[in-house]
Amino acid sequence: MTQTGTFDIVAKDGIATVQVGTTTLSLAQVQALGTTSISIDTPAGLLVLNGYTGTDAAGTISYSYTLQDPLAHGGDGTSVSEDFAVTVTDEDGDIDTSTLSVRIVDDTPQA
């Protein structure tokens, strides 16, 4: 099952790099995501960065996430998240970090 989403990035002094998980992209790579997607493979799923709308200082990255293997579910038994650290570095070295959390929900059988 594949789901899609977006997340916003901002670097008022201009985007130098964007790191998602352990994958670092230059501004040129971010701007080319619509034609050259970037895949981030994890033990649980595949995150594909596949679009960018914006400028050299701010914009929105589009992605898809495909669950590849089952994950152990905690507390409520129905959902778990796979988290990706997102770090944006601007042209003068300032850094801002956030988290992209992909929520994975199990289907629950019903009688």
Successive 10-residue mean pLDDT values, the chain, 111 residues: 93 97 98 98 94 98 90 68 95 97 67 40
**How far apart (Å, rounded) are the C-alpha atoms in residues 9 and 58?**
5
pLDDT of residue 110: 46
pLDDT of residue 74: 65
pLDDT of residue 107: 47
pLDDT of residue 73: 67
pLDDT of residue 77: 62
User: What pTM was computed for the model?
Assistant: 0.89
pLDDT of residue 106: 65
For 21-94, list the strands marked E by DSSP: 23-26, 38-41, 45-54, 58-67, 79-90
